[in-house]
């Protein structure tokens, strides 16, 4: 069993030397001063002159009482509060990114974390029933063994047949080695358990942290509730007033229970380790109000961009797009889930199991059968811990609804240079359907070929 435990650390930001002459404020003092600023004609200097920098707490209480703003109204004014989460499961990292849509953050890549059963939480930590714990640990240990074996085999294959890696012309030896290893890592990763410990860091305002922690505290998974407490304890050091309102809440709990019930029902009905063929769905909504129609063409909206970071016009910014895949492997879902705009939804089930063409399924049939049986037993018990029996090859339906400018950015990014080969397949398929409905965009959207960096 692992000796590692979840660890949450808050990072206090300090100004650089070049900002030595600027006013110094704590996160909550910043929020209260800006709140007062919005209800005053005195100007910022006058408000700051009334702040006792040696006793900021009294100033915060006085200003908040005067302004009479609700906590949610000013919580976004605290600036970014940084939290590092060590040793959380990949599932919890996924869930936090799903919840914290306003956060900026990074998670450890599967290329850089320990792939061994020692890097698993205990069954008790994640709520796996005690009588199933030995099976659970055995299956996941065997999954790590399969990962390591396939990585070694694929790395040797790429060494023997370098043309598989699509190396850039005149690549230096260090680049050749890195790309060869990435070729193997990115194809073996489908055996990685979703329970594997990872690390992530997020920066967001006190308001959004309070919502994130409240949501985590309302989930049925004990790991989520443990994380909520640890995050809250850290943030209370920086934003004590605004983080007090971050406990579990009835509406969050009710929706979490309903979503779990939906996932269990759908998961039991569709549970499979066979590979699902690709299927995509795209819906475009061009409707505009009768009193405010769109006069710009899609071409005019897109043609001025030098790259995907350029500004798009109203024709694509107002165009709604929903797109979905029937078989998004969790390996890809972990990254696509981080595109923050709009609504993203998945029941997080195993309706199939993806392995790339370079991996023969036959040697892994027993592992996949045992993993499937374990997932079924957990689902039959109604256990939210079924999530921790999944591997990154598990295929689940995934839907994302957003606007066309955000969709186009995602499609260009996930097919562009350095993109994972499977991202590129998924996004290229969606682009084909999008072009059928918005053909005028075809000449202006840069679909890449996922060439290695």
Q: Give Cα separations from 381 to 125, 224, 261, 270, 386 (angstroms).
A: 18, 20, 11, 16, 9
CB-based contact 323:282 (threshold 8 Å): yes
User: CB neighbours of 223 closer than 8 A, spacing ≥ 6?
Assistant: 6, 88, 89, 91, 92, 121, 125, 126, 127
Helix (H, G, I), strand (E, B) or coil at 13: coil
Which burial class, exposed, middle or buried, applies to 116 when counting CB atoms under 10 A from its CB (0-12, 13-18, 19+)?
A: middle
Mean local confidence (pLDDT), 286-302 = 98
Non-local CB neighbours of 227 within 8 Å, separated by 6+ positions: 6, 8, 85, 88, 92, 96, 216
Q: Do 439 and 317 share a structural domain?
A: yes
Whether residues 403 and 279 share a domain: the answer is yes
For residue range 318-342, what is the model confidence (pLDDT) as tens digits? 999 999 999 999 999 998 888 878 9
- What number is the average pLDDT over the span 140-166? 94
Q: What residue numbers bound the domain in which 436 lies?
A: 268-354+393-444
Rounded CA-CA distance 134/377 in Å is: 14
Q: Answer for the pair 120, 168: CB distance below 8 angstroms, yes or no.
A: no
Among 77, 89, 72, 93, CA closest to 28: 77
Query: Residue 29 falls within a domain, yes or no?
Result: yes
Residues 244 and 297 occupy one common structural domain: no
Query: Does 340 lie in the same domain as 218?
Result: no
Using CA atoms, how far residue 249 sits from 214, 227, 246, 253, in Å, is 7, 16, 8, 6
Q: Where do the H-state alpha helices sit in 194-296?
A: 206-217, 222-235, 250-270
Read off the tokens for 99. 């919840």
Please tell me which residue, 34 or 307, carries the higher pLDDT value.
307
Residue 324 lies in a domain: yes
Based on the fold, state whether residues 311 and 416 are members of the same structural domain.
Answer: yes
222-235 and 206-217 are packed helices; what angle lies between their axes, rounded to 10 degrees? Answer: 150
CA distances from 263 to 47, 224, 227, 289, 382 (A): 52, 18, 23, 37, 10
User: Which residues make beta-bridge pairs with 83?
Assistant: 10, 202
What are the DSSP calls for 78-128, one per residue? S-PEEEEEEEEEHHHHHHHHHH-TT-EEEE--TTSS--SGGGS--HHHHT-
Please give the residue that has the higher pLDDT: either 377 or 112. Answer: 377
What pLDDT does residue 285 have? Answer: 98
- 388 within domain boundaries: no
Cα–Cα distance measured from residue 322 to residue 402, given in angstroms and rounded to the nearest whole number: 6
Distance CA 313, CA 292 (A): 15
* 207 and 335 both lie in a single domain: no
Residues 295 and 409 in one domain: yes
Tabulate helix, strand, coil % of the chain (nearest 5).
50, 15, 35
**Burial status of residue 225 (CB atoms within 10 A of its CB: 0-12, 13-18, 19 or more):** middle
> Is 174 part of a structural domain of the chain?
no
Same domain, 346 and 205: no
> 1-15, 289-303, 369-383: which has the minimum mean pLDDT?
1-15
Looking at the structure, do residues 227 and 292 belong to the same domain, yes or no?
no
Q: Within a domain: residue 337?
A: yes
| Mean pLDDT lowest among 81-95, 163-177, 259-273, 435-449 | 163-177
Contacts of 424 (CB under 8 A, 6+ apart): 414, 415, 448, 449, 450
Average pLDDT of the chain to the nearest whole number: 91
CA pair distance 351, 272, nearest whole angstrom: 5
Q: In the chain, how long is the greatest CA-to-CA distance?
A: 74
**What tokens does 186 get?**
């990115």
CATH of the domain at 220: 3.30.1360.170
364 found inside a domain: no
My answer on whether 209 and 281 are in the same domain is no
* pLDDT band, very low/low/confident/very high, at 66 (cuts 50, 70, 90): very low
- What does the pLDDT look like over 363-383, one tens digit per residue? 999 999 999 999 999 999 999
Per the structure, the count of domains in the chain is: 2
In angstroms, the CA 432 to CA 425 distance is 11
Q: Which of 39, 63, 38 is nearest to 50 (CA)?
A: 63
Inside any domain, residue 212: yes
- Domain-located, residue 137: no
Q: Are strands 81-89 and 197-204 parallel, antiparallel or unpaired?
A: antiparallel
In this structure, are 433 and 299 located in the same domain? yes
Q: How far apart, in whole angstroms, are the C-alpha atoms of residue 71 and residue 157? A: 58
Residues 221 and 260 sit within 8 Å (Cβ to Cβ): no
Percentage of the chain with pLDDT > 70?
A: 95
Which residue has better confidence, 194 or 63? 194
Shared domain for 431 and 312, answered yes or no, is: yes
Residue 144's H or E segment, with its range, is helix 133-160
Q: What is the pLDDT of residue 64?
A: 58
| Weakest mean pLDDT among 102-106, 228-232, 263-267 | 102-106
- Give CA torsion, residues 132, 382, 191, 135, to 10 deg: 10
Inter-residue long-range contacts of 290-298, CB under 8 Å, 24+ positions, other chains counted: 294/318, 297/440, 298/438, 298/440, 298/441, 298/444
């Amino acid at each position: 069993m692992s000796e590692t435990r979840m660890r949450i650390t808050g990072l206090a930001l300090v100004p650089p030397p070049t900002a030595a002459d600027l006013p110094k404020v704590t996160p909550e003092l910043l929020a209260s001063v800006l709140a007062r600023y919005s209800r005053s004609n005195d100007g910022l200097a006058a408000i700051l002159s009334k702040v006792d920098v040696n006793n900021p707490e009294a100033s915060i209480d006085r200003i908040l009482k005067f302004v009479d703003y609700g906590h949610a109204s000013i919580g976004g004014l605290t600036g970014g509060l940084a939290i590092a989460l060590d040793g959380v499961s990949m599932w919890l990292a996924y869930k936090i990114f799903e919840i914290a849509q306003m956060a900026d953050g990074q998670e450890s890549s599967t290329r850089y974390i320990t792939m061994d059963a020692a890097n698993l939480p205990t069954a008790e930590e994640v709520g796996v029933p005690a009588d199933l714990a030995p099976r659970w640990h055995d299956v996941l240990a065997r999954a790590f063994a399969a990962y390591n074996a396939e990585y070694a085999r694929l790395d040797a294959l790429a060494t023997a047949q370098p043309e598989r890696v699509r190396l850039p012309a005149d690549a230096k030896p260090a680049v050749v080695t890195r790309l060869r290893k990435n070729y193997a890592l990115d194809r073996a990763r489908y055996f990685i358990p979703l329970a594997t410990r990872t690390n992530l860091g997020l920066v967001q305002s006190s308001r959004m942290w309070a919502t994130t922690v409240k949501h985590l505290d309302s989930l049925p998974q004990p790991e989520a509730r443990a994380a909520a407490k640890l995050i809250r304890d850290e943030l209370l050091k920086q934003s004590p007033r605004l983080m007090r309102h971050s406990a579990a809440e009835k509406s969050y709990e009710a929706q979490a229970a309903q979503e779990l019930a939906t996932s269990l029902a759908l998961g039991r009905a569709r549970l499979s380790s066979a590979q699902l063929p690709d299927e995509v769905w795209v819906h475009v909504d061009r409707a505009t109000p009768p009193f405010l129609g769109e006069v710009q063409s899609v071409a005019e909206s897109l043609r001025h961009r030098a790259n995907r970071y350029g500004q798009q016009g109203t024709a694509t910014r107002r165009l709604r797009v929903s797109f979905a895949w029937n078989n998004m492997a969790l390996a890809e879902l972990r990254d696509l889930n981080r595109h923050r705009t709009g609504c993203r939804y998945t029941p997080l089930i195993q309706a199939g199991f993806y392995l790339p063409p370079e991996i023969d399924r036959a040697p892994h049939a027993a592992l996949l059968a045992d993993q499937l049986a374990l997932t079924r037993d957990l689902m039959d018990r109604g256990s939210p811990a079924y999530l921790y029996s999944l591997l990154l090859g598990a295929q689940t339906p995934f839907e994302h609804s957003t606007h066309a400018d955000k969709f186009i950015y995602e499609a260009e990014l996930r097919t562009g240079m350095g993109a994972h080969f499977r991202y590129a397949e998924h996004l290229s398929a969606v682009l084909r359907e999008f072009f059928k409905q918005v053909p005028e965009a075809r000449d202006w959207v840069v679909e890449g070929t996922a060439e290695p960096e």
